[in-house]
Structure 1
Amino acid sequence: MTTLRRIWLLILRLSGEDRRVVVFIVFLMLSSGFWLINALRSEYVSTISYPVLFINLPSDKVVSSEVPASIDLKIRGTGFSLLRYHWAEQLYPYAFDVTKMRRVFDGTLKGAYLVTRDYTHRLSDQLSSDIELVEMTPDTIYISFYDKMTRKVPVRFKGDITFVSQYNQTGEVQFMPDSVSVTGPEYLVDTLNAVNTEYRRFEQIADTIRQSVSLVQMPNVMLSNNNVNVMVPVEAFTEAAVDVPIVVRGVADKMVIKTFPAEVRVSYRVGISRFESVSSQHFLAVVDAAGFDSGNQVRLKVKLEGAPDFVYSVDYFPLFVDYLIERSE
């Protein structure tokens, strides 16, 4: 069923038995159509957005992000002609050749610019013959050039991870690749410390995470990879404890300090796969006796200075110990 037939049936349904309503609506539609056709024959001035691009850029430079993707053309023509550009006409970008633009130097090449009115005839040729180009905006287009720089930058994970009870992360987040090449203006690339992944949230995890994650895109900077593979090692953990001997440092000559107790109890959490590999030798409990005053200092503070990087939630007891000073011959 055609659209006109549907409209006609709708009119009949709305009008009911009164044919005068049908006649009125038909004449109203005809008069509106004649008015529209007559109006479209008149001339109007309108503004359209015309796409542009820039070619033959210097290979050792990058351009600023302010380079326009289009310019505004004020055009004059009949309503019929203008409708093509607002509704149906597909506009192909006009290519400005950067090598033919005016150059700006300050010791080195800093930029290039053009005056749009110099391109009036060329852009007019892109329009149909019944369209007159009246004006172009902006009147000047300037492109800034910056020295190009490429360097490798490490990838950094951004996100949050929660785990099922009795599970936890058992190692560093790993990436493949672990770094990406970044190309862009030297003043930007030289200050980058890392490229972040897009924020991801993983909840109630009970197994190792292996996923592809997108990298955060930065304006005016190009990355060698748009995403990386992320691996977060996860496994069940267990709680364990070892007795670690206390090492006394900074003892004066001919003096021996004994602590009571002689060991601290170190508790920690560790992944089940590495439970057997942990021993007291992986920890270092220290008492610093340098400069302490035996007359005023009742107890000595214990510091835990060494622990393997694959254990976590490390704690120890006691934090303070008694001591006995002995003179050696």
Structure 2
Amino acid sequence: MSVLRRRTFKRSSIKTFSFFLVFSAVVWVLVQFSKTYTQLIEIPVVYLNAPLDKSLSDDKPEGVDLQIQDNGFSIFYYKLFNPELTIDLSEAKQRDSTLVYQLQDHLSQIESQLKVDFENSRIIQEEIVIPFQFRKEKVIKINSKIEVGYAVGFSADEPVELSPDSVRVSGPEKIIDTIQSVPTLSLRLKKVNQDIKGKVSLDTSKLGMLNFYADEVSYFQKVEKFTEGSVEIPVEVINVPENLNLAYFPKDVIVYYQVNLKRFESISGSDFRVVCDYAQVNEEDGFMIAQIVEKPNYIHNLRLNEKRIQFVIKR
């Protein structure tokens, strides 16, 4: 019975001791953190609205020094969360080949961003000086990455139109000289049966060193009803030697095509020319390849019912 009492007493004593130890440590931390300290803290800087005709140097300042006089809790907050200071370079002035941002002229903005009272704290620097190089400007073409799938019986005479079809871009000379065009983001439209229009962004994901004066373009395409037609065309053989007696068949092929319904009646056989070039023939094959060499520019999806034209040479 006495043994059990001694064990109970010992466990109770350890718990009591631990409680007062933790309590004392907490009180000590609170007392220390309540004291006022003076601390120098580097605040990271983020630059916004850099002029499009200028490229900031890699040697630009990465931070400013904030001397803060406050209790330990506030200083611990700055050490832990390390707030950033955003600098709007549209408010900077050019001095030779540098942009100069006067910190002392923007103390109220800095106070609001950093949540600091400048009665007891101060920024060590009076200004931030950012070296730059002038950027080269260039107008480059915009390539459409818009894919249109039409509903049955619909198509378009003209490709998708972009407006504008080019964009002004600025950047370091060594990079901008290698850029000839920029694509749009990929866009797929399905079962289209009416005019299409909208906006699509430029794909600048791999061109982070360049500044674009526009980041999107408008697109448009007139979509109309189309129909399929066919016409029988005689096959013409060219580059046949004068002393060669050539017989070939079939003599005529059928050309299938799609055309705007409004223009269907205007299509005739005289609009097409189908040719086989004997100079490109391997006589061992015994056939020629028919090709459509003339056609109206407003028809689509052309195909022949027969591309291989058989031939024999009469001796």
Is the TM-score greater than 0.5?
yes
User: Aligned AA for 1:198?
Assistant: L
Q: Could you say which residue in structure 2 is the equivalent of 1:320?
A: 308
- Aligned equivalents of 1:154, 1:92: Cα separation in 2: 34
The answer for unaligned runs of 5 or more in structure 1 is 1-31, 104-111
Q: CA deviation at 1:146?
A: 5.5
Of 195-204 and 170-179, deviating more is 195-204
**Given the alignment of the two structures, is residue 78 of structure 1 paired with residue 70 of structure 2, yes or no?**
yes
Return the offset for 1:174: 0.8
1:227 alignment counterpart: 216
Give the aligned partner of residue 201 of structure 2.
Answer: 214
Partner of 1:14: none
Measured in 2, the distance between the counterparts of 1:311 and 1:92 equals 57
Displacement of 1:230 in angstroms is 0.6
Equivalenced residues, count: 272
Query: For residues 298 and 324 of structure 1, do their structure 2 counterparts lie closer, same or farther at Cα, with a shift above 3 Å needed?
Result: closer
* Residue 261 in structure 1 maps to residue 250 in structure 2: yes
Counterpart check, 1:42 vs 2:42: no
1:99 pairs, out of 95, 120, 132, with 95
Establish whether residue 128 from structure 1 lines up as the match of residue 122 from structure 2.
Answer: no
Taking the aligned partners of 1:312 and 1:290, their CA distance within structure 2 comes to: 28
Choose 199-208 or 250-259, whichever is displaced more: 250-259
Contact conserved, 1:56 with 1:99, CA < 8 A, in 2? no
Which of 141, 147, 151 in structure 2 is aligned with 1:154?
141
Cα RMSD for the two superposed structures: 4.7
Q: Distance in 2 between matches of 1:265 and 1:292?
A: 22
The Cα of 1:265 is off from its aligned counterpart by 0.8
Q: Is the 8 A contact 2:254 2:306 kept in 1?
A: yes
Aligned to 2:226: 237
Amino acid of the structure 1 residue aligned with 2:121: I
1:175 aligns with 2:162: yes
TM-score (norm 1): 0.62
Return the TM-score normalized by structure 2.
0.64
Deviation at 1:268, TM superposition (A): 1.9
Which residue of 279, 287, 295 maps to 1:290? 279
Matched, 1:278 2:267: yes
Provide the secondary structure at the position in 2 that maps to 1:290.
Answer: helix
Q: What is the one-letter code of the residue matched to 2:95?
A: T
Q: Any residues of structure 2 matched to 1:176-215 within 5 Å, and which?
A: 176-215=163-202
Distance 1:205 1:77, change over 3 A: same
| Residue equivalent to 1:17 | none
2: CA distance, partners of 1:65 / 1:201: 40
AA aligned opposite 1:39: F
In structure 1, how many angstroms separate the alpha carbons of the residues matched to 2:285 and 2:141?
Answer: 48
Structure 2: give runs of 5+ residues left out of the alignment. Answer: 1-25, 111-116
